[in-house]
Chain A
Amino acid sequence: MSLVLDIFTIVAVSAGAFFFLAGTVGLLRFPDTLTRLHALTKADNLGLGLVVLGLLPQAQQPFDVIKLIAIWLFALLAGATVGQLMARVARRERPTP
């Protein structure tokens, strides 16, 4: 049982790490501010979600699971709103037709 859970953790955390990698590559390669925002908000939030998912079986107490999920939801809300706010600022700084 423990082994299965550990394998689940390893798979999910690795997938999360992969999306952090993808997000960083996107930040490095994408051409302008707005496209880079896509890379940041989507890939990194998914990466965090997968890390959280992978850590769920490792939680020491049942309530820690709730906290982990809450952490992800807060980060998601922050990412979604900040992404939009930044997009507006970026659009204003360099207006694209």
Chain B
Amino acid sequence: MTILDFLLAAAAFVLAMVALGLVRILRGPEDADRMMATQLFGTGGIAALLLLGVATEARAVLDVALTLALLAAFASVAFVRSASSSEGDDPKETNSP
């Protein structure tokens, strides 16, 4: 077993963990629980991607991971923006002209 095999196995393990966590999260009960799924996938997915990429010696994987990491918060921000309320410390939006 080479180091590359080990990295592949580690990638599979991280993916499995993400999948397992996904089950819990996607069941809710709150929307915030569900949104955590995207965060979990962001972190775990980046880790798996890096492991896979280094294992298959594909350098471009780093740029893909860079993009994913940069946009990791994006979906959650869209969610927070839509889950608006009247509290002072939270995003609000208005339709008024």
Contact = CB atoms under 8 A, between A and B. Distances in A.
- Tell me if chains A and B make direct contact, with any CB pair below 8 A: yes
B62 A71 contact: yes
Contacts of B72: 74-75, 78-79, 82
Say whether chain A's binding surface is mostly helix, strand, loop, or mixed: helix
Contact of A44 (B13, B40, B62): B40
Interface in A69-88: 70-72, 74-75, 77-79, 81-83, 85-86, 88
Interface string A31-52: 0010011001100110110011
Contact of A85 (B6, B42, B76): B76
Nearest to B66: A71
Interface of B: 3, 6-7, 10, 13-14, 17-18, 20-21, 24-25, 30-33, 35-36, 39-40, 42-44, 46-47, 50-51, 54, 57, 59, 62-63, 65-66, 69-70, 72-73, 76-77, 79-80, 83, 85, 87, 89-90
